[in-house]
Structure 1
Amino acid sequence: MRLVTTPRVSMLRELADRIGLRAGRGRVVVAIDGPLRSGKTALGDDLAAVFGERGTTAFRASMEGFHRSREAQAAFGPDTAERYYAHGFDESALRRALVEPFRLGGSAGFVTRVWDTSRDAWVEPKWLTGPEDAVLVLDGRFVLRERLRGLWDFTIAIDGDPVDPADRIAYAECDPRTVADVVVVAAQN
């Protein structure tokens, strides 16, 4: 289905072209980072729709689906911005349940979320598979930190200044806008 052409859709089509040129064929993982409430999820949803418009199978995931439980986070000390930045997400589950099996292709199953933060509980896994050529669009805070950066084929940062203490810590360590393949201006969100 062809999307209605708007300035945002035109920008996303150009972005999808750049991703295709950079990453090529096969399984491609795109990561979108930005501060709290910057429009990461909407951008990811819209970018996946543009890939779908082209006939490319696109999957969506968010770091929100890979949080650690409140109990697991508490094991790392008091509830602070530092603790949230360092230990708020289960990066091991992200790798094991999503990124690594997605990259395997074929019949390897992957899940796009393992945790429900509102219930502070595991979710019933919905195992997915896809064709050899597919795109995974993942959005989330801190996805362009150094220890995760090598997982992604193409990276996008949303232009915007940190708005909460955890974002300020992350941006002091490494501003995602300085390492992303593309920076999307907040007005385009």
Structure 2
Amino acid sequence: MKLVTTPRIDLLRQLRDQFQRDYPRGRTMLAVDGASGSGTAEFADGLAAVFGEAGRAVFRASIDDFHRPREQRYARGRDDAAGYWLDSFDYSLFRRALIEPFRLAGSTGFQLVGFDEGRDVGAQLRWTTGPQDAVLIVDGVFLNRPELRGIWHGSMRLQVPRTVAYERLHARLGVDTDPAAASNARYVGGEALYRKDDDPAARASVIVDNTDEARPQWVFADFC
């Protein structure tokens, strides 16, 4: 059967093939990092689909499923940018419940969801197992921060203009389309702290311009 192809799927397959050449076997982990509204979840889902198409066992997770409780997330104030950057996610739980057991392979179970954000409680334990050769694809914000540095076999940084990101967030969540609006200060400021402290684009294996989600572009650095 002939495979469906589009510019988006073609790029996803190119990224998959490069990763598979570098890591053809074993348990491997791939991050899809980007600011809110950059499209990380959809991009990671597409990557999972093309890995599956190639016969690789693939698992999907999101850092959004490892939030801290609201009391901890907003301890510095609901509009505080540092609170978004420093307090949003439970990286210890993320590593303990998902990353470390996934690395062990064998019959060790791992948990793809650690926190129920809607109910503001820990998620029900659902342990998953997989084969020796498998890839875990994780999407979300701040994935190249210090607590997660060194765990990824590859990481992708999605870039979109801030105005485009907030148009998407408005359509999905109803937020103000103006990035400079006071209601967006927590998130715009937190992302700025991430870029200042950790330079995620420099740490990524691959940079993708995801302004047009139907035609994402692999961005190559200019060398002089």
Shorter-chain TM-score category? over 0.9
| Structure of greater relative contact order (alpha carbons < 8 Å, 6+ residues apart) | 1
* 1:176 aligned partner: 200
Counterpart-to-counterpart distance in 1, 2:4 and 2:124? 35
Q: How does 1:145-160 map to 2 (within 5 A)?
A: 145-160=145-160
Counterpart-to-counterpart distance in 2, 1:24 and 1:144? 23
Q: How does 1:2-41 map to 2 (within 5 A)?
A: 3-41=3-41
Counterpart-to-counterpart distance in 2, 1:71 and 1:19? 39
Letter in 2 for 1:78: G
Q: How does 1:85-100 map to 2 (within 5 A)?
A: 85-100=85-100
Deviations 1:138-172 (A, max 9, x none): 00100011331211111100023566221111112
Counterpart-to-counterpart distance in 2, 1:140 and 1:26? 24
Query: May I ask how many residue pairs the two structures share in their alignment?
Result: 188
| TM-score under structure 1 length normalisation | 0.93
SS of the residue 2:110 aligns to: coil
* 1:165 aligned partner: 189
- Tell me whether 1:123 sits opposite 2:123 in the alignment: yes
Confirm or deny: 8 A CA contact 2:91 2:147 kept in the other structure.
no
The change in CA–CA distance for 1:180 and 1:95 in structure 2 (over 3 A counts) is: same
Q: How does 1:66-77 map to 2 (within 5 A)?
A: 66-74=66-74, 76-77=75-76
The change in CA–CA distance for 1:2 and 1:113 in structure 2 (over 3 A counts) is: farther
Rg: which structure is higher? Answer: 2
Percent of pairs with identical residues: 42
The change in CA–CA distance for 1:104 and 1:183 in structure 2 (over 3 A counts) is: same
* 1:61 aligned partner: 61
- Tell me whether 1:140 sits opposite 2:150 in the alignment: no
| TM-score under structure 2 length normalisation | 0.79
* 1:103 aligned partner: 103
The change in CA–CA distance for 1:119 and 1:3 in structure 2 (over 3 A counts) is: farther
Confirm or deny: 8 A CA contact 2:58 2:135 kept in the other structure.
yes
Confirm or deny: 8 A CA contact 1:114 1:123 kept in the other structure.
yes
| Residue segments in structure 2 that go unaligned for 5+ positions in a row | 163-178, 180-187, 217-224
Letter in 1 for 2:145: R
The change in CA–CA distance for 1:69 and 1:40 in structure 2 (over 3 A counts) is: same
Letter in 2 for 1:69: P
Counterpart-to-counterpart distance in 1, 2:94 and 2:194? 19
| Residue segments in structure 1 that go unaligned for 5+ positions in a row | none
Deviations 1:104-146 (A, max 9, x none): 0010000111112122122112110000000000001000113
Moved over 4 A (4+): none
